Amino acid sequence: MIELYKLHWSHYVEKVRWALDFKKLPWRGIDIVAFTKKEMRRFDCPQTVPLIHDTATRVAMSDSSPIIRYLDEAYPERGLFPADPVEREQVWQWMLRLDSTLGLYARRLGYTQLIMECPRALAQLFLSNVYRGVFARRGLRTVASPAIGMMLTIRFHFHRNRQDQVYEKLEALLLPVAQKIERDGFLVGQQFSAADLTLASLLRPLRIVPHFSHHPQLQALFGWQERLFREHDRDVAFPYEEAIRVQRERRGVMRGWVSWMQQQLTSTDEATGEVPLQAAKNDLHPVSRWTLILGLPAYLTLRWFNGIARMPYTPAAFLGS
């Protein structure tokens, strides 16, 4: 039995959940409280989710790509890595590269979108298993959601999205990936691998970010993701996607126009992927009561004055394909 410590909406967690289901391994999920993580403190490994504990081998580890590699080595049936060593290494490099770029940027922009359009969803995500969900209820969540938004802003530096060129770097990364997927159907070789699973999972938060979900050159990529979700019996929409869709339909608008983006970055080191990686990078910044002082102005600026303008709501084209 594999125990999976998780935040259920995390796209890194979804990678591991998908791998476990694909390999038909028995597993049970344990929802953690994001602020204390007390459920997983007993394990001597970095305290990020996903974290697994294999009760058969007593291995406990975090970091989604090493977890998937461990599962594939310990339980080789229904392999997620090709047998050929060159292709195997290519899959591994794709995973590390996507974890270190797409995964981090999509997380930043997905949360930013929720803060701009539907902040109450934050209380539902983070607080429904704290004090019996009292802070996630109507009324209290109006106060709780901005507090979580402030903390997340400082943790992930959403207030620096523009300075850090997150939209631009992500676009430069995704356009060639989309072309490759459209041409070959897979990131490596001729069959589904852990690299494709990683790409489809980590793209998920961008389904609510109109700059990407509505980007004419990315429709085939999202269509490919949608088909994989259906073929592999994954949830096609997470609850936060539904929450923001309902809100957009009601108001008839979405925050989608990135006003400062005039032209695309043509190429970045991250987009070309020429430097091999040894491990995935992360971007968790420490939050203390001192850094939190910055939280309120950063949050308010992000929510109201961050240069992402309103536009009429239309569903993304790939949804109808």
Ligand X SMILES: N[C@@H](CCC(=O)N[C@@H](CS)C(=O)NCC(=O)O)C(=O)O
Which is nearer to ligand X, 45 or 265 (by Cβ)?
Answer: 45
Q: Which of 5, 10, 53, 82 binds ligand X (CB under 6 A)?
A: 10
Which is nearer to ligand X, 67 or 188 (by Cβ)?
Answer: 67
Which is nearer to ligand X, 155 or 162 (by Cβ)?
Answer: 155
Q: Does 113 bind ligand X (CB under 6 A)?
A: no
Nearest CA-CA partner of 150 in 126, 176, 180: 126
Token digits for 246? Answer: 């309902």
Residue whose token pair is 């979900």 = 213
Which is nearer to ligand X, 99 or 226 (by Cβ)?
Answer: 99
Integer angstrom CA distances of residue 32 from 53, 68, 120, 174, 281: 14, 20, 20, 32, 22
Tell me which stretch binds ligand X (CB under 6 A): 60-68, 165-173, 231-239, 258-266. 60-68
* Contacts to ligand X from residues 131-190, by CB under 6 A: 155
Q: At what angle do helices 11-22 and 64-74 cross, to 10 degrees?
A: 10
Contacts of residue 303, Cβ cutoff 8 Å, sequence gap at least 6: 115, 116, 119, 149
Which is nearer to ligand X, 110 or 256 (by Cβ)?
Answer: 110
Q: Does 49 bind ligand X (CB under 6 A)?
A: yes
**Residue count at the site for ligand X (CB under 6 A)?**
15
* Contacts to ligand X from residues 25-44, by CB under 6 A: none
| Residue 129 dihedral angles phi and psi, to the nearest 5° | -110, 20
Q: Which of 14, 50, 94, 318 binds ligand X (CB under 6 A)?
A: 50
- Cα 142 to chain centroid, rounded: 25
Integer angstrom CA distances of residue 144 from 108, 136, 137, 303: 20, 8, 10, 15
Which is nearer to ligand X, 88 or 107 (by Cβ)?
Answer: 107
Integer angstrom CA distances of residue 19 from 26, 31, 50: 11, 18, 12
Residues 274-313: x where in contact with ligand X by CB under 6 A, - otherwise, as a string: ------x-x-x-----------------------------
Q: Does 199 bind ligand X (CB under 6 A)?
A: no
Distance CA 8, CA 29 (A): 9
Q: Which of 12, 22, 92, 222 binds ligand X (CB under 6 A)?
A: 12
Q: Which of 14, 72, 99, 171 binds ligand X (CB under 6 A)?
A: 99
Which is nearer to ligand X, 62 or 219 (by Cβ)?
Answer: 62
Return the DSSP state at 54: E
The site for ligand X (CB under 6 A) is made up of 7, 10, 12, 48-50, 63-65, 99, 107, 155, 280, 282, 284
